[in-house]
Structures are given as C-alpha cells and as structure tokens.
C-alpha cells in the first residue's frame, strides 16, 4: 500500500565509524553517492576514530589509525560542497565503552561490570564528556547541531552512589536519568547557546507525560525515536511521538535503518527487510496528529551493535539497501518502478545485493561494488551445505570419527578421498579470500580486513585445516 512521501525535513545517513572506518578516499566517494541518492545530512559517530588530543588522546584507536584533524576537516569541506550537513554523534551516558574500557577511567563506570554506562554522580565524568564535546565542536567549525546519544543506559541505578541517591524520597531511576541529561544539556547550552541538541529517546519511552513535563529537559533537547524493525508497530510509535509532543518536546526526529540491525553478526543485508522498516515509518508520519511534525529522519547504518561487538555488514554490501530506503521515502512506496530507479542509478540488476550480478564496469556509480560482489560470493561459499555440514559427511562419521582419530586407525583409501575434498574446498576458499583481502585493503585498513577474516573466514577454514592435518597424521601410521 502506497503512503504519502516522507514529509519535509532532513534525511540523514548515519555513518558509524566505530567499526570498519573507511579510508578517506572511499569516504569521499560514499559522501558523493549519499548526495546523489538524495541525502542532505550525515550523522557521524566517530567514537575512537576521532583525533582526540591531550588528556583524551588515550581514546584514539590503536588497532587502526584515527582520522587526522586535516581528514576530519576535509570530510566536512567535501560534504559541504555536496550540500550535506555534518552532525556529530557523541555518546555521553550509555554506550561509552570506547571511553570506559580504559583502565584509568574504570572508576567512572556506574558499576564495574558494565563497560558502557557512565556514573552520573561523578563531576569528573561530566568534565570528561564536556571535554570530548569541546574537541569535537572545535574541529567542526560552524557546527549548529549535536547528537548526544544517551540510549541504552544499562544498569543505571545499580551503582553504590546511585543507590544512595535513590534512597531519598521521590527519587526514581527515571529522574536520575533525566537529571544527568539535563545537567549535560544545560552545560552544552551554556557553552554553545545556539547549539541544537538531539538525543535518542528510548530511555524516556516508559516515562509518563507528567514526568517529562516536570523535568527540566523540555526545551533543551530534541528526541530521536528509533525503531529498526520491519514490523514496527505504527500505533505505539505514533503514541510515543505524540506523548513527547504533548509534554513540550515538540521538535522530534525519527530513526530507521538500512543495515546493522538484523543480527549482531549479519554479513549481507536484506534490502526488503529495511525497505519494510521505512514503509512502516511512512505510515507513522502519515498517522501523526495535525501539528506534530518531524524534523527529519536518520537512516542508521550500524557497523557494530556496540564498541565491543563484532562487525555488522560492511558499507559496500549495504549501498543497494540504502538507495532503496531513500527511494522509498521519496516516493512513499517501493513498487517495480521505484526498484527500477534504484537499479538504474547503481547500475545493478537487483536491489538485493545477493542478486546484483557481476559487473565489468570500472567506473560504477556504486563505489565498492567489486567488494560487495566478492563479499556475497565468499559468504555464499562459507555458508554452503558442503562446508557447513562437512563433518556430517557419511565418510567422515563412518571412517574418520573421533575414535578413529584417537586410535590413528583409519582406512587410507577413504580418508585420502576426504582429504582431497577438504583440500579442494580450502584451495577455493583461499583464492577467494586472497582476492577479497586485496579489494578490502583498497577501501579499509588492515585491522578491519583482519577482523572481518577472523570473524567470518577463520572459524570455517580452521576445522577443515585440522581435518587435513589429522588425516595426514593418521595415514602416516597406516601406510608404509
């Protein structure tokens, strides 16, 4: 069913740099594509790729290089030339894993075992966050909008200081959350009076309208309500947005997803899943009461669920999904005509990256297409039945069981056939891995390449290698 196109407002593409940060040259190609696809803003989550300095230099990544100040500025200049606004996202309460993982900052955690949540009672923590923001704002000349995160503040209220605070009358975890964010928002407004502050909404979803009205947060921040599911509940989402609006938070944002929200370890995205999410958001926008308007939508592309989780889909394989999601917002539907517009623009045969087909075009509208093709090919091979169920093969279970291996008592004729099959698979895999590694290195740093291989390839190749080694050892005991 067709809906009205997305109402006026910003269409931000979320650039999650806490995993697989692109090389600068590729980053510029991506920004150009985002502009051509109709985006007019970038929500940039730097985390440890930002060039923090002085006492914050320890926050910089050590596994891969952080962007230099010059590179951060050049990204902004390039984006500006494409009429794209940059909005930095800096986590300030929850999901501060990249900060609180450092031993010297352990004392700022709400509880020792939760690496992501800041203790809201320590002034040192607020000073740390404000210094992070100062450095980010300084390196973004003319910045008008800042996203302060504040989602998924796990274990809040469980620290010793929080328990003492909560023991006093009329205090709740909700009020504890609001007091910290309000304190921070006020400090930001004091330092940069013109600054628009956006924050994630999820910690406020369970709060009553009265609690929100009574808080001093109203008028200081603009909530961004996120939901990435293809079956987003329109009625509940509308009621949440209208609750915030009635509480005085009249400037509201939405957040959808084009990748990084299916599963923590997903390798190749499903375009239809993400398009369905956007169709539901269109229904939300169409169902809002008169007077409730949205400032815009952030189309998120998570690269990790959090700083310490594995990589989600790499950017190249998700570009058909992003193009499809933006097209859906512009048209209010994703019929065959809309799909054709996407495939024409990207020079592909299908909006599903698994079906795009091989291309001989060197200069494609689709930056990173070759890597996307190779990723799909390798992922298909890694998940093929021949490999996934290799150890369930009749000949392995019948003639090369754990007992046979321990006793080194095998039938060489059969086990050498198994060895030959495993070796053939390993050779094919290695050839594809070598080709993909070379292509990945053009777009990403060595650390990203190595991490991706360790996540997706090594767990598959290691058992095959082990079998070939064990067969050789056993056959040696049976053949003169």
Active site residues: 152
How many Å apart are CA 39 and CA 425, to the nearest integer? 43
Tokens of 325: 């999601």
Give the count of beta carbons closer than 10 Å to the beta carbon of residue 329.
25
Segment 217-221 long-range contacts (CB within 8 Å, at least 24 positions apart): 217/178, 217/181, 217/182, 217/185, 217/249, 218/247, 218/248, 218/249, 219/248, 220/182, 220/185, 220/186, 220/189, 221/148, 221/181, 221/185, 221/197, 221/249
CA distance 92 to 137: 14
Segment 76-81 long-range contacts (CB within 8 Å, at least 24 positions apart) = 76/140, 76/141, 78/28, 78/31, 78/32, 79/31, 79/42
- How far is 161 from 18, CA to CA, in rounded Å? 30
Quick one: tokens of 96? 């501060």
Rounded to whole angstroms, what are the CA distances from 261 to 16, 107, 277?
Answer: 12, 31, 11
Distance between CA atoms of 276 and 267, rounded to whole angstroms? 19
Cα separation, 270 vs 373, in Å, equals: 15
298-134-121 Cα angle (round to 5)? 90
∠ CA(397), CA(398), CA(404), 5° rounding? Answer: 85
Tokens of 479: 């053949």
Q: Output the six-digit token pair for 274.
A: 């993400």
Tokens 């539907």 identify what position?
Answer: 333
Give the list of residues 6+ apart from residue 31 with CB closer than 8 angstroms, or none: 42, 75, 78, 79, 82, 84
């Amino acid at each position: 069913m067709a809906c009205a196109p997305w109402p006026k407002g910003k269409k931000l593409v979320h650039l999650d740099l806490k995993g697989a940060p692109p090389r600068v040259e590729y980053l510029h190609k991506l920004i150009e594509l985002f502009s051509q696809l109709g985006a007019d803003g970038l929500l940039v989550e730097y985390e440890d790729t930002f060039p923090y300095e002085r006492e914050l230099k320890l926050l910089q990544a050590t596994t891969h290089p952080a962007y230099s100040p010059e590179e951060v500025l050049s990204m902004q200049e390039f984006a500006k030339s494409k009429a794209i606004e940059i909005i930095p996202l800096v986590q300030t309460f929850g999901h501060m894993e990249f900060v609180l993982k450092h031993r010297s900052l352990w004392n700022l955690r709400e509880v020792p075992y939760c690496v992501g949540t800041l203790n809201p009672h320590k002034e040192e923590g607020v000073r740390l966050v404000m210094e992070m923001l100062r450095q980010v704002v300084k390196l973004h000349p003319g910045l008008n909008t800042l996203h302060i995160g504040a989602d998924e503040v796990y274990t809040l209220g469980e620290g010793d200081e929080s328990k003492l605070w909560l023991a006093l009358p009329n205090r709740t975890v909700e009020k504890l959350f609001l007091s910290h964010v309000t304190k921070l928002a006020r400090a930001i407004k004091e330092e940069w009076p013109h600054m628009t502050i956006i924050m994630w909404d999820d910690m406020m979803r369970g709060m009553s309208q009265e609690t929100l009205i009574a808080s001093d947060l109203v008028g200081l921040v603009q909530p961004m309500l996120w939901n990435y599911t293809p079956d987003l509940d329109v009625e509940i989402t509308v009621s949440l947005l209208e609750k915030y609006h009635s509480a005085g938070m009249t400037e509201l944002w939405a957040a959808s997803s084009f990748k990084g929200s299916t599963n923590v370890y997903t390798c190749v995205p499903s375009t239809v899943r993400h398009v369905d999410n956007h169709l539901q958001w269109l229904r939300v926008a169409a169902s809002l009461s008169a007077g409730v308007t949205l400032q815009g939508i952030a189309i998120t592309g998570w690269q990790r669920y959090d700083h310490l989780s594995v990589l989600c889909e790499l950017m190249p394989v998700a570009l058909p999904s992003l193009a499809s999601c933006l097209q859906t917002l512009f048209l209010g539907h994703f019929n065959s005509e809309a799909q054709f517009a996407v495939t024409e623009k990207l020079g592909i045969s299908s909006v599903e990256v698994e079906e795009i087909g091989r291309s001989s075009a060197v200069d494609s509208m689709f930056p990173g297409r070759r890597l996307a093709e190779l990723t799909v090919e390798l992922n298909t091979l890694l998940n093929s039945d021949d490999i996934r169920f290799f150890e369930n093969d009749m000949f392995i279970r019948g003639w090369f069981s754990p007992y046979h291996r321990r006793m080194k008592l095998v039938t060489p004729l059969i086990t050498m056939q198994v060895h030959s099959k495993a070796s053939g698979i390993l050779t094919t895999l290695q050839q594809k891995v070598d080709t993909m590694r070379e292509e990945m290195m053009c777009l990403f740093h060595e650390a990203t390449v190595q991490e991706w291989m360790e996540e997706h390839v090594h767990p598959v190749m290691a058992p095959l290698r082990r079998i070939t080694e064990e067969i050789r050892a056993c056959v040696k005991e049976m053949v003169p």
